[in-house]
């Protein structure tokens, strides 16, 4: 059977949409990418921690998360916050999140998240080799740093589960942690080291994808928003945009937190909330760690990037609100000297915080795949804090779907219509 290239229209120019476009072009398809922002637009991956995390095999919807959220929601500086508001979508999402936060769900999701992250890591290594590592991939692992013995015990238990899944993990004493990354002073009770995790510069990776696509002949429609869909006989026939009507053989929605708005009018049930995260980057830090890390109790990620160091964190469920909440930023800043005592809160004076809206599904798993209701419409969104980590493998898997190939990973758990009956 001869391969028939298709014209594929992708809405969303973040790391997910660009990755899909890249791998679709690799298979010979024609690609149009529609992005509401300008060519230099921001996205929820550009200012994030830049981590690729096989260690993150537990979805956000897990036992204890509901109670944790209720305990911390009254603290304006807490790592996890849900702003109370009268919203039917938020209530529906919250009820689904409560139901999904079970040990059974984690047991089902963990092997898939492991496989997706390892496969995506392999993609990054392959792309780094092909592009001369222009995006600064560093394969030195990740340290989960614990201030308290209680947190260390919990992380050690998680490390044992990781090892049972085939994810290398090592519980370390304070001395072992300091020996692994001697460039930074630490005040910790110990940590867990995940050697297969890695990190990179997200803005350089996104810029590299864009350049590769432009060179390959992909078409970009910048500053173009989707305003409606035309449907006939169970298929999309065209998408209406602010730049006019566009036609394709296949359509992919990769709109991040705006995905539910993009598909409005199609009768799809894609529950999603925007989870705002923040980061601050010190261009000339007092000390420069070599290994990326997470402050466990504070839930703050730390990543060295090209001589700078980035601190990022918080999950703030506040709707499509891109304003910066100073209290959330203060929470990140206050945590840094607690783990890295050579740093001071004053180091961040004058540093402009970055913010991004992560698309969060109720079960903590992304939506990836073609819909049943519309035979030529697919969704790839809802990756929450793992958009960058899972970007390449999402692109690769969606290129297989769009090419009518048998996928290399079973996507049943992440099918976009899994909430259709609820």
Instruction: List, in order of start, the domains of the chain with CATH numbers.
Output: 57-86+137-198+272-360 (3.30.9.10)
Q: How far apart are CA 205 and CA 125, in angstroms?
A: 12
pLDDT at 152: 98
| Structure-token match 């090592």, residue found | 170
Tell me the helix, strand and coil percentages in the chain, rounded to 5: 35, 25, 40
Q: Which 8-state DSSP code applies to residue 296?
A: T
Read off φ and ψ for residue 289, nearest 5 degrees: -65, 155
Least confident span in 82-86, 142-146, 201-205:
82-86
Across the chain, mean pLDDT equals 94
Which pLDDT belongs to residue 51?
97
Residue 62 has pLDDT above 50, yes or no: yes
Question: Which two structure tokens, joined as six digits, stand for 318?
Answer: 């506040």
pLDDT of residue 203: 94
What is the mean pLDDT of the segment spanning 200-205? 96
Q: Which two tokens stand for residue 81?
A: 């916050």
Mean pLDDT computed over 310-328: 88
Residue 345: both structure tokens together: 């809160």
| pLDDT digits 0-9 by tens, 226-239 | 999 999 999 999 99
What is the rounded CA–CA span in Å between residue 186 and residue 304? 15
pLDDT at 73 over 80: no
The C-alpha atoms of residue 390 and residue 50 are separated, in whole angstroms, by 11
Alpha-carbon separation of residue 120 from 53, 113, 199 (angstroms): 9, 10, 12
Q: Measured between alpha carbons, how far is 95 from 237 in angstroms, rounded to an integer?
A: 35
Q: Under a CB-based contact definition with an 8 Å cutoff, are residues 381 and 256 in contact?
A: yes
Q: Find, among 251, 269, 198, 209, the residue nearest to 52 by Cα.
A: 198
Task: Decide if pLDDT at 44 tops 80.
Answer: no
For the segment 26-55, the average pLDDT, to the nearest whole number, is 91
Query: What per-residue confidence (pLDDT) applies to 307?
Result: 95
Report the pLDDT value the prediction gives residue 1, as an integer from 0 to 100. Answer: 42
- Give the pLDDT band of residue 315 (cuts 50, 70, 90): confident
Q: By the 8 A CB rule, do 350 and 115 touch?
A: no
Pull the structure tokens for residue 52.
């690729």
User: How far is the C-alpha of 286 from the C-alpha of 115, rounded, in Å?
Assistant: 37
Per-residue pLDDT tens for 338-359?
999 999 999 999 999 999 999 9
> How big is the CA angle at 185 (ends 181 and 187), to the nearest 5 degrees?
110
Give the tokens for residue 415.
């099918």
46 or 196: whose pLDDT is higher? 196
Distance in angstroms between the alpha carbons of the first and the last residue of the chain: 40
- Pairing verdict, β 190-194 and 142-146: antiparallel
Nearest to residue 366, comparing CAs of 376, 379, 356, 355? 379
Q: What is the pLDDT of residues 125-147, one digit of tens each?
A: 999 999 999 999 999 999 999 99
Q: What is the mean pLDDT of residues 297-310?
A: 96
- Between CA 299 and CA 233, with CA 419 as vertex, the angle to 5 degrees is 135
Name the residue among 267, 208, 215 with its Cα closest to residue 236. Answer: 267
Q: Check whether 367 has a pLDDT greater than 80.
A: yes
Q: Which whole number is the average pLDDT over 33-55?
A: 89
Residue pair 50/388 in contact by the 8 Å Cβ criterion: yes
Helical residues (DSSP H) of 101-148, grouped into ranges: 103-130
420 within 8 A of 269, measured Cβ to Cβ:
yes
Residue 384, Ramachandran bin (φ over 0: left; ψ between -120 and 50: alpha; else beta): left
What pairs with residue 198 in β-bridges? 52
Predicted pLDDT at 81? 74
CB 157, CB 169: distance < 8 Å = no
CA distance 268 to 415: 13
Q: How far is the C-alpha of 170 from the C-alpha of 156, rounded, in Å?
A: 8
Q: Is residue 78's pLDDT more than 90?
A: no
Predicted structure pTM score: 0.95
């Amino acid at each position: 059977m001869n391969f028939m290239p298709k014209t594929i229209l992708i809405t969303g120019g973040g790391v997910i949409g660009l990755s899909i476009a890249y791998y679709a072009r690799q298979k010979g398809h024609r690609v149009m990418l529609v992005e509401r922002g300008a060519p230099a637009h921001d996205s929820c991956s550009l200012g994030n921690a830049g981590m690729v995390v096989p260690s993150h095999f537990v979805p956000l919807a897990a036992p204890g998360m509901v109670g944790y959220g209720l305990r911390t929601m009254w603290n304006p500086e807490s790592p996890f916050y849900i702003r109370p508001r009268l919203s039917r979508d938020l209530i529906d999402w919250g009820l689904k999140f409560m139901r999904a936060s079970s040990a059974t769900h984690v047991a089902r999701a963990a092997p898939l998240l492991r496989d997706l992250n390892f496969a995506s890591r392999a993609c990054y290594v392959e792309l780094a080799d092909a592009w001369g590592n222009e995006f600064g991939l560093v394969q030195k692992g990740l340290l989960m740093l614990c201030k308290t013995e209680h947190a260390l015990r919990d992380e050690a238990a998680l490390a044992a589960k990781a090892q049972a899944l085939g994810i290398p993990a090592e519980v370390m004493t304070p001395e072992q942690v300091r020996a692994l990354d001697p460039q930074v002073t630490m005040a910790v009770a110990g940590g867990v080291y995940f050697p297969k995790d890695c990190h990179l510069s997200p803005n350089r990776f996104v810029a590299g994808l864009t350049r590769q696509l432009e060179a390959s002949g992909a078409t970009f429609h910048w500053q173009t928003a989707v305003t409606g869909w035309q449907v006939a006989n169970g298929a999309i026939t065209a998408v209406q945009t602010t730049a006019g009507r566009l036609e394709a053989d296949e359509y992919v929605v990769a709109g991040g937190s705006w995905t539910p708005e993009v598909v409005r009018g199609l009768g799809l049930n894609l529950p999603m909330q925007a989870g705002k995260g923040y980061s601050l980057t010190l261009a000339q830090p007092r000390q420069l760690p070599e290994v990326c890390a997470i402050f466990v109790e504070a839930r703050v990620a730390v990543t060295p990037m090209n001589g700078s160091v980035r601190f990022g964190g918080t999950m703030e469920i506040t709707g499509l609100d891109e304003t910066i909440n100073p209290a959330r930023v203060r929470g990140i800043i206050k945590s840094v000297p607690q783990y890295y005592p050579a740093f001071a809160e004053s180091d961040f004076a004058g540093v402009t915080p970055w913010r991004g809206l992560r698309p969060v599904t109720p079960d903590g798993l992304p939506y990836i795949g073609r819909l049943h209701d519309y035979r030529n419409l697919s969704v790839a969104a809802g990756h929450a804090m793992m958009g960058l980590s899972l970007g390449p493998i999402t692109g690769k898997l969606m290129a297989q779907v769009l090419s009518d190939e048998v996928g290399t990973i079973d996507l049943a758990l992440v099918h976009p219509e899994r909430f259709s009956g609820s």
